[in-house]
């Protein structure tokens, strides 16, 4: 759509009068608003955990979790510095919580996911139920639920935060509230939600009020065991290896309404076929190592690294060892709106 509207003196004069009426010509900007394929400033990027970890730990010596409200280093997309975004619609950060610390209770309309990168035994509490977190666990704090984090273990814990902050900002739907105390009172035993809602059962007559899964911790131990079992069928998707999405047991939909979350097993030596989709995707390496080509870049990843693939950018995976990749994106939003596309193979 290359509008080559010659810029006449009459048009120029006309354009000048429009702003006073809060008007503007469409034809001069149409080709940048509606593009033939997705166009974004979002770039492929890679955060090497070995390099980033010292900075995260340093932040722990400079500010407390409570002072910071949440002590997080944002993973800013290098194409959009200063915008607190890892993709156009999503935010990601690495959060540190030290032994004995508490990140105080609050709630917000933004949905958050946590993917545990390092440590063992810290907890997240959601609406009065704690869950103890281990590496590889996928933990949810649904929109508008009270939540706090604490670390009763003896080691630091670091996790990857994924939130829909830019999306909620664009929709002008942000609400935030602090709880009067640091900790929201606990009312249910640890493990209750997973047993009650995530074991192939739902309480009789149960009606779930919100679009997010009532299960708020999908332990890696369980996920890994399932993928190990699936391996035996020896059926591999040429683009994805063995890729499963985390599911809201009440609906079968994505575990979260705004963010898809997946765990993916790539066997050693697998070479995935070229793939692209419109959901820019953040990957976190739960296990293994290898490399991926993202557009014309090569990303060499190891356990605990994070990397991001922009919308409609070709990706191929080359795991050196058997690898588990966690990933998240805005795919459910696009699917609900009829916008999501994928393409397998090269053009």
C-alpha 276/C-alpha 37 separation (Å) is: 12
The DSSP symbol for 226 reads H
C-alpha 91/C-alpha 170 separation (Å) is: 13
Q: Which helix (H) or strand (E) element contains residue 170?
A: helix 165-170
Please state the closest distance from residue 48 (CB atom) to its own copies, in A.
9
Where b means 16+ CB within 10 Å and e means fewer, 215-243 reads bbbbbbeebbeebeeeeeeeebeebbbbb
Q: Candidates 39-47, 114-122, 147-155, 316-324: pick the segment binding its own copies (CB under 8 A).
A: 39-47
| β-strands 138-141, 217-218 pairing | antiparallel
Residue 209 or 296: which CB sits closer to its own copies? 209
Please state the closest distance from residue 154 (CB atom) to its own copies, in A.
25
Residue 26 or 154: which CB sits closer to its own copies? 26
Residue 268 or 341: which CB sits closer to its own copies? 341
Please state the closest distance from residue 238 (CB atom) to its own copies, in A.
13
Look at residues 138, 164, 181, 160 and name the one whose alpha carbon lies nearest to residue 56: 160
**One residue of 115, 159, 220, 246 binding its own copies per CB under 8 A:** 246
Could you tell me how far CA 310 lies from the centroid of its own chain?
13
19 touches its own copies by CB under 8 A? yes
Token pair, residue 53, equals 């970890």
Quickly list DSSP for 220-236: HHHHHHHHHHHHTT---
77 touches its own copies by CB under 8 A? yes
Please state the closest distance from residue 121 (CB atom) to its own copies, in A.
19
17 touches its own copies by CB under 8 A? yes
**One residue of 11, 102, 132, 320 binding its own copies per CB under 8 A:** 11
Please state the closest distance from residue 344 (CB atom) to its own copies, in A.
11
Site for its own copies in 176-195 (CB under 8 A): 176-178, 188-189, 191-192, 194-195
């Amino acid at each position: 759509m290359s509008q080559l509207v010659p810029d006449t003196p009459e048009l120029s004069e006309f354009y000048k009068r429009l702003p006073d009426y809060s008007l503007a010509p469409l034809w001069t900007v149409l080709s940048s608003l509606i593009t033939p394929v997705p166009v974004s400033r979002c770039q492929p990027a890679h955060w090497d955990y070995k390099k980033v970890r010292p900075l995260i730990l340093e932040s722990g010596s400079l500010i407390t979790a409570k002072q910071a409200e949440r002590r997080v280093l944002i993973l800013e997309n290098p194409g959009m510095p200063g915008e607190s975004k890892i993709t156009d619609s999503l935010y990601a950060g690495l959060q540190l919580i030290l032994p004995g610390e508490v990140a105080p209770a609050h709630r917000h309309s933004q949905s958050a996911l946590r993917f545990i990168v390092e440590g063992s035994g810290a907890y997240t509490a959601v609406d009065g139920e704690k869950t103890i977190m281990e590496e590889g666990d996928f933990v949810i704090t649904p929109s508008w639920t009270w939540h706090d984090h604490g670390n009763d273990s003896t080691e630091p814990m670091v996790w990857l935060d994924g939130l829909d902050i830019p999306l909620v900002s664009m929709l002008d739907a942000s609400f935030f509230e602090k709880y009067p105390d640091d900790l929201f009172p606990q009312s249910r035993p640890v493990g209750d939600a997973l047993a009650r809602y995530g074991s192939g059962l739902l309480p009789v007559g149960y009606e779930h009020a919100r679009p997010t899964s009532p299960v708020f911790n999908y332990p890696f131990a369980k996920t890994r065991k399932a993928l190990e079992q699936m391996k035996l069928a020896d059926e591999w998707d040429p683009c994805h290896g063995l890729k499963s999405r985390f599911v809201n047991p009440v609906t079968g939909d994505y575990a979260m309404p705004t963010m898809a979350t997946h765990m993916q097993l790539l066997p050693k030596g697998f070479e995935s076929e070229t793939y692209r989709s419109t959901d820019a995707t953040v990957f976190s390496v739960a296990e293994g190592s290898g490399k991926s080509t993202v557009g014309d870049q090569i990303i060499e990843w190891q356990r605990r690294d994070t990397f991001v693939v922009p919308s409609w950018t070709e990706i191929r995976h080359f795991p050196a060892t058997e690898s588990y990749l966690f990933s998240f994106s805005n795919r459910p939003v696009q699917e609900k709106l009829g916008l999501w596309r994928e393409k397998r193979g090269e053009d």
